[in-house]
Chain A
Amino acid sequence: MASKATTANPTAPDWRAEAARLQIDARAFINGRRVAARSGETFDVLSPIDGKLIARAARGRTEDIDDAVKAARAAYESGVWSRHAPAQRRRILLKWSEKIVAARDELALLETLDMGKPIRFSQTVDVHSAARCIAWYAEAIDKIYDEVAPTPASALALIRREPMGVIGAIVPWNYPMLMASWKLAPALAAGNSVVLKPSEKSPLTAMRLAELAVEAGLPPGVFNVVPGLGHEAGEALALHLDVDAIGFTGSTRVGRKMLEYAGRSNLKRVFNELGGKSANLVFADFAELDRAAATAAGSMFFNQGESCNAPSRLLVQESIADAFVERVLAQVPRYLPGDPLDPATVMGALVDAGQMRTVISYIESGKLEGATCVAGGTTARHDTGGFYVNPTVFDRVKNSMRIAREEIFGPVLSIIRFKDEAEAIRIANDSPYGLHAAVWSSNIDRALRVAGALRAGTVHVNSYDEDDMTVPFGGYKQSGNGRDKSLHAFDKYTELKTTWIRLAAK
């Protein structure tokens, strides 16, 4: 998902004390100000660190979504942002990015309290990647040129990109700010208005992002946030007749619904970034097996395994399998879960009790289906009241088992052994998903041949998770459509306008 952390801040605050001091405002942000849900209703926001109630968020429903869409549409039609010069949009977005960095401690703490990831990564990965993403699109927007078609001399044809209108963004809880930024930044940079529905499991940072945007000069109404439940606020947004496109990141199950909602309403464009069961292929000819093993474990257990592109199927060539599994197991103790507010912790809490239940059920299913559990397989840190699962490794997994076919979204690695290249490719592609994949080989011909054969949106060679903002992110097959990141993200949030002009002959 994102690059790994660098170093922890040496002057780190006392996070427990900061958390106790934190005043959390979990109301919606519509038309430039904080508002409660029209019904006055709220939903509980529990911290997975200790299970405690940390906020009661506005429970947005149809009427609140409607308010937000109206504000977004009015802002769009006024031209206050949509017809603002690209260079001016760039300046405001860059200022926003700077404000996010300046609010780093508060945002990181909110993210960690809300969804349980280690504070060091909230700071170094989530806050910084979100800010960098916004800056990247800001920098791009006044450097992109449109097209003039190769017409006969009797005509001039302009092919221009126009903002689409009102974009609905529905984002998940695993990287709340970063996933929101991947949608918001290109959508806003292109001149659209946005209504963001954060996950009910992690709604808190989204509203702060919106406040910072307005402080940076984004006109009120251009960017609105309505927290709420998926089947209430999310469904209302996806069914709304005045929303032009939906950028969704989440489960394949809900992604299907997004397409249904579009079909049942106004055929709004739907761009889905969905699940994955990414295959990580390690060949015997790779020279640095220690690095491959460290990455196989590190990318799997990063973010508690709650990453859509986690390399959750590790395919290892039989001739090196025993030795390689041993190397992977040697990495496991580094990822034992700890207190997310401790800057030394590298694996934190799963997002909530339901996710822990799901992960435990998959672990049980792996055991019952005959895979060998060689590490973990248990819950941890019971004294905290939070939701922790030990890093878990299954060896001798068959690709037909549920733990190889279904996305677990937890720290569970399934190791599958293969004989040769053809079998490796066959197993890797035998999946309903096609998000990421990796191939580790010192033979460049093989590496490129396999990379070409893998049906996945991104293939890493001799690495994992090192990709940056410059490249697209998205999937083949049931992993979705459309791409986040890179200039290709603009394809989702702009319409192509052809203007054909007849030129009179002299």
Chain B
Amino acid sequence: MFGDVPMVVLYNRYFDAIRDQAGCLPIPLPCTGAEDIDAYLALADGVMLTGSPANVHPSHFGQDVHDPSLPLDPLRDAMTLPLIRRVVELGMPLLAICRGLQEINVALGGSLHQAVQEVPGRGDHRGAKGKPGALTPERYADAHSITATAGGCLAAIIGSEPVTVNSVHGQGIDQLAPTARTEALAPDGQIEAISIASHAGFSLALQWHPEWQAGDNLVSQKLFFAFGSACRDWQARRAR
């Protein structure tokens, strides 16, 4: 939803990364209603949750809206939160970016900071120093480093040396969901990646945007390739 206009917007960078880096066929999933989730999942071998300018509604973690000027998307919440719980139940490959990471944490019972930049000790994670405007190279510029947790599944893909990432988010994980694991932290302590302990297969959620420079960034390439491999495994198992 954009205000009262019902539309689904999908930035090319997401499906380009799925097609060109993961080697999979991207199928957009419109928020038609939770009753359709299984029908969509039957068509797919993996699920990627994209980022969005709209925040996860704070009602889902028991808070009031902190800044009413920021966009919300209750239609997406109503689709993705049950979708995540179902994907976890099935053990289907799951890659989540930015809002997607926040959705996973909320769907599984965690909570979010609504404005990370206002949390004492945390930096401003909104990109371009919080100036308004979207989708500019300045906003998606390298922002800070992250370090993958040694022995974790993110580290298994990208290693546990610090890498530099972009940062385009106002919300961020506060209380980690009980079944989620921290996979990476920013230097200021903000959780930058998680996986799901109760998920039987590939699950990885990233607070940054690997799709932005997917073709030119080795870390992004490794991440999408790993997700694509998990989807191909799922497809092979499904075919048997």
Chain A residues at the B interface, C-beta cutoff of 8 Å:
41, 43-44, 46, 50-53, 200-201, 229-230, 352-354, 356-357, 360-361, 363-364, 377-379, 382-387
Contacts and interface: CB of A to CB of B under 8 A. Distances in A.
25 contacts: A43-B82, A44-B34, A51-B57, A51-B59, A52-B59, A52-B60, A229-B35, A353-B33, A353-B34, A353-B75, A353-B77, A354-B78, A357-B1, A357-B31, A360-B1, A363-B4, A383-B64, A383-B68, A384-B59, A385-B60, A385-B72, A385-B77, A386-B74, A387-B74, A387-B78
Interface in B186-234: none
B123 interface: no
B65 A353 contact: no
Contacts of A53: 81-82
Query: Lowest 10 CB-CB distances: which A-B pairs, in order?
Result: A354-B33, A385-B59, A353-B78, A385-B57, A50-B59, A44-B82, A353-B75, A360-B6, A378-B4, A383-B65
A386 B74 CA distance: 7
A430 B11 CA distance: 44
Interface in B1-15: 1, 4-6
Contacts of A386: 59, 74
B85 interface: yes
A284 B25 CA distance: 61
B32 interface: yes
A387 to B, nearest CB: 6
A230 B35 contact: yes
Contacts of B82: 43-44, 46, 53
Contacts of B75: 353, 356-357
A74 B74 CA distance: 46
Given A382-B72, A385-B58, A51 B77 contact: yes
B6 A46 contact: no
A361 B6 contact: yes
Given A44-B85, A354-B35, A379 B4 contact: yes
B118 interface: no
B98 to A, nearest CB: 20
Contacts of A46: 34, 78, 81-82
Interface of B: 1, 4-6, 31-35, 38, 57-60, 64-65, 68, 72, 74-75, 77-79, 81-82, 85, 89
Nearest to B38: A229
A200 B74 contact: no
Contact of B78 (A41, A200, A352, A363): A352
Contacts of B72: 382, 385
A357 B58 CA distance: 20
A291 B35 CA distance: 40
A406 B4 CA distance: 21
Contacts of B34: 44, 46, 352-354
Contacts of A353: 31, 33-34, 74-75, 77-79
Contacts of A387: 74, 78
A384 B57 CA distance: 8
B5 A51 contact: no
Given A357-B1, A385-B58, 11 more contacts: A44-B34, A51-B57, A51-B60, A52-B60, A201-B35, A353-B33, A356-B75, A360-B4, A382-B65, A383-B64, A385-B57
Nearest to B89: A41
Contacts of B33: 352-354, 357
Contacts of A201: 35
Contacts of A384: 59
Nearest to B77: A51
Nearest to A47: B59
Contacts of A230: 35
Contact of B74 (A43, A51, A363): A51
B112 to A, nearest CB: 13
Contact of A354 (B4, B32, B77, B85): B32
A43 to B, nearest CB: 8
Contacts of B5: 364
Nearest to A378: B4
B35 A51 contact: no
A378 B57 CA distance: 19
A41 B38 CA distance: 13
A453 to B, nearest CB: 38
Contacts of A361: 6
A200 B35 contact: yes
A356 B57 CA distance: 16
B68 to A, nearest CB: 6
A43 B34 CA distance: 10
Nearest to A384: B59
A360 B89 CA distance: 32
B6 A385 contact: no
A391 B48 CA distance: 36
Candidate in B33, B78, B81, B89 with the most chain A CB atoms within 10 angstroms: B78
Candidate in A229, A353, A360, A379 with the most chain B CB atoms within 10 angstroms: A353
B4 A51 contact: no
A353 B35 CA distance: 11
A393 to B, nearest CB: 16
B115 to A, nearest CB: 16
A354 B32 CA distance: 6
Contacts of A200: 35
Contacts of B4: 360, 363, 377-379
Nearest to A388: B74
Nearest to A46: B78
Contacts of A43: 82
Contacts of A52: 59-60
Contacts of A378: 4
Given A364-B5, A364-B6, A385 B74 contact: yes
A353 B34 CA distance: 8
